[in-house]
Amino acid sequence: MSEPISPRQQDILAIARLQGRVSVEDLALRFDVTPQTIRKDLNELCDNRLLSRVHGGAVVASGVENLAYEARRLVAHAEKRAIGLAAAKLIPNNASLFINIGTTTEEVARALVEHEDLLVITNNLNVATLLYRHPKISLIVAGGPVRRADGAVIGSAAVDFINQFKVDYAVIGVSAIDQDGALLDFDYREVRVARAIIANSRRVMLVADKLKLERTAPIRVGHIGELDDFVTDALPSWPLRELCDLHKVRLVEVGTDLSDPAAAGAV
């Protein structure tokens, strides 16, 4: 049976659910207690399976409920921006591509605005808002029900629409990556759209920061072996590195120096 949590621990949990991640140092300052006290709080929250410990802090442990979309924008924002810049460099002019829902895929879209003669097909209204004004980018938006939480167009109509196309690149994001290489998400309707995007693309590129390795989600999108490119800030998992090597997935890590995203290199 789970132990009751203290009022401070309830506050810590609320902060974690809003931001996605909390650090020992920040929480100690916020609550004016010692780091040791915060570590004890985090350990107890983890024992109750409400958080998961990571280096220097903790992340939300839920495997059935995603973070609020606006909160996800704040998590690893600098890393996502660097990933977006590096991914955009892999996409040539005169290309066609799908971009699915996600805060990291939005950063790829933001970095594509200087490209020429692109055809972008998306089920992400946030991507559409970023790109529709640019005269050298042709934009097509999938039809269907819009998920109010994040502006994702989902459902059977979106899947049928995507199945009409065959494009050069798919730029996809996921909510979690398992150590066995499974790519995971939370909404089966969104997963159906992502599967259609993968199936109708000549080259599939995953954009995801390393925090996705610390989360879980219940629905399988696919496997890392289905990718052609994986762009991330860092990949500390040797099993996943070995899978990338085994399946000839081009791994691009933007590195730890996020002040110079252009310095991204391929492994």
- For residue 116, the model assigns a pLDDT of 96
Q: What residues have CB less than 8 Å from 24, skipping those under 6 apart?
A: 35, 38, 39, 42, 56, 57
- For residue 13, the model assigns a pLDDT of 85
Q: Which residues of 231-265 are buried (b: 16+ CB within 10 A; e: fewer)?
A: bbbebebeebeebbeeeebebbbbeeebeebeebe
Percent of the chain with pLDDT over 90: 67
- For residue 17, the model assigns a pLDDT of 76
| Torsion (CA) 225, 227, 229, 230 in degrees, nearest 10 | -70
- For residue 69, the model assigns a pLDDT of 61
Fold of 75-266: Rossmann fold (3.40.50)
pLDDT digits (tens, 9 = 90+) for 38-91: 999 999 888 877 788 888 898 876 554 555 666 666 667 789 999 999 999 999
Over the chain, what is the mean pLDDT?
Answer: 88
Choice between 214 and 163, residue whose per-residue pLDDT is larger: 163
Q: Give which of 143, 94, 90 is closest to 264, Cα–Cα.
A: 90
149: DSSP letter: T
How many Cβ atoms are within 10 Å of 195's Cβ, its own excluded?
A: 17
Q: What is the mean pLDDT of residues 256-265?
A: 44
Q: What value, to the nearest 5°, has the Cα angle with vertex 77 and ends 176 and 183?
A: 15
pLDDT digits (tens, 9 = 90+) for 115-124: 999 999 999 9
Residue type, 245: D
Helix (H) or strand (E) holding 140: strand 137-141
Tell me the CATH class for 7-61: mainly alpha
Rounded Cα distance between 84 and 87, Å, is: 5
- For residue 261, the model assigns a pLDDT of 40
- For residue 52, the model assigns a pLDDT of 80
pLDDT digits (tens, 9 = 90+) for 116-174: 999 999 999 999 999 999 999 999 999 999 988 889 999 899 999 999 999 999 999 99
Domain boundaries, the chain: 7-61, 75-266
pTM of the model: 0.76
- For residue 267, the model assigns a pLDDT of 43
- pLDDT of 256 higher than 60: no
